[in-house]
């Protein structure tokens, strides 16, 4: 490769993908990533979605590019091999073990947490899934912020517990496993250093990877929340005035120095 950047780590929703646009991922961005991969670059989708949700959405959007690796539910690593995605066994096993032990401590408090939320926010939805014993969807962002603060206070009582949130959605997670630490594990195995990595994201759950500890080159689109834009600017990253994939394409092109990119 002639580029100083060897790996792209991109969030999906709100960063690459805009559901109500056609196409949901701009063709310019897909072409930019295709060219990067042809020159030997590695592309990782680093998302809060699980495998089935991501694969179905990409298929419906007729996305013709394929990521070389996936980081799913903000913590699990998968590699593209022989036309399928296979898991990174050692990391995923350690991740699952840590979460099982931690959530064993949390389950007894789920009724209390649920009652607190239900009494104050009748339209919030609380549920358990494969990845957390307590998840919520709030009616609006302001409600999500208040619930998030309550859960952050609870987390102070449980070692290693944290809240992972994207807008009105949130769940519990182990503090050692997030988009940033998973990216570090993946890139370390590929012998790629943080100064050779570009990361792009738009929301709270992207902050762990939008750090110089894990990636030197940082990008956020115009629709990113203010705290993300501030973090990116403070680290000399690119905050675009274009939204979603258009803004990400602009930032990637800038840092790759791609003179052929057409906005």
* pLDDT value at 165 more than 90: yes
Q: Quick one: tokens of 210?
A: 């939008």
pTM of the model: 0.94
Phi first, then psi: give them for residue 215, nearest 5 degrees: -155, 130
* Spatial contact of 197 and 7, defined as CB atoms under 8 Å apart: yes
C-alpha angle 115-119-122 in degrees, rounded to nearest 5: 110
Mean pLDDT of 20-49: 96
C-alpha angle 43-47-52 in degrees, rounded to nearest 5: 100
**The pLDDT of residue 3:** 52
* Residue 15: strand, helix, or coil: coil
60-91 per-position pLDDT tens digit? 998 989 999 999 999 999 999 999 999 999 99
pLDDT band at 262 (very low <50, low <70, confident <90, very high): very low
**The pLDDT of residue 260:** 40
Whats the size of the chain, residue-wise? 263
Q: Which domains does the chain have, with CATH numbers?
A: 7-74+178-256 (3.40.50.1000), 92-174 (3.90.1070)
Mean pLDDT of 210-236: 97
**The pLDDT of residue 150:** 98
Q: What is the largest CA-CA distance in the chain?
A: 58
**The pLDDT of residue 257:** 87
Q: Would residue 260 be called left, alpha or beta, if left means φ above 0 and alpha means ψ between -120 and 50 degrees?
A: alpha
* pLDDT value at 1 more than 60: no
98-144 per-position pLDDT tens digit? 999 999 999 999 999 999 999 999 999 999 999 999 999 999 999 99
Q: 67 to each of 35, 71, 235, how far by Cα in Å? A: 13, 10, 26
| H or E element, residue 180 | helix 179-189
């Amino acid at each position: 490769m002639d580029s100083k950047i060897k790996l792209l780590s991109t969030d999906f929703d709100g960063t690459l993908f805009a559901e109500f646009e056609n196409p949901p991922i701009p063709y310019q961005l897909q072409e930019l990533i295709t060219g990067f991969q042809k020159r030997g670059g590695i592309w990782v989708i680093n998302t809060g979605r699980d495998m089935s949700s991501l694969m179905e959405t990409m298929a419906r959007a007729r996305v013709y590019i394929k990521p070389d690796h996936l980081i799913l539910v903000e913590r699990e690593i998968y590699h593209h091999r022989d036309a399928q995605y296979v898991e990174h066994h050692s990391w995923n096993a350690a991740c699952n073990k840590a979460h099982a032990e931690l959530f064993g401590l949390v389950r007894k408090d789920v009724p209390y947490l649920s009652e607190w939320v239900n009494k104050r926010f009748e339209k919030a939805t609380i549920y358990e899934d494969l990845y957390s014993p307590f998840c919520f969807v709030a009616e609006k962002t302001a409600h999500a912020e208040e619930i998030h603060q309550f859960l952050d206070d609870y987390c102070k009582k449980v070692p290693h517990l944290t809240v992972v949130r994207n807008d009105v959605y949130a769940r519990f997670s182990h503090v050692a496993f997030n988009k940033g630490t998973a990216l570090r594990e993946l890139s370390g195995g590929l012998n790629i250093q943080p100064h050779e990595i570009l990361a792009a994201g738009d929301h709270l759950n992207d902050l762990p990877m939008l750090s110089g500890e894990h990636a030197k080159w940082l990008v956020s689109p115009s629709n990113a929340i203010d705290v993300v834009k501030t973090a990116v600017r403070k680290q000399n990253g690119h905050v675009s005035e274009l939204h979603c994939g258009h803004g990400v394409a602009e930032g990637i092109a800038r840092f790759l120095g791609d003179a052929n990119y057409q906005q």
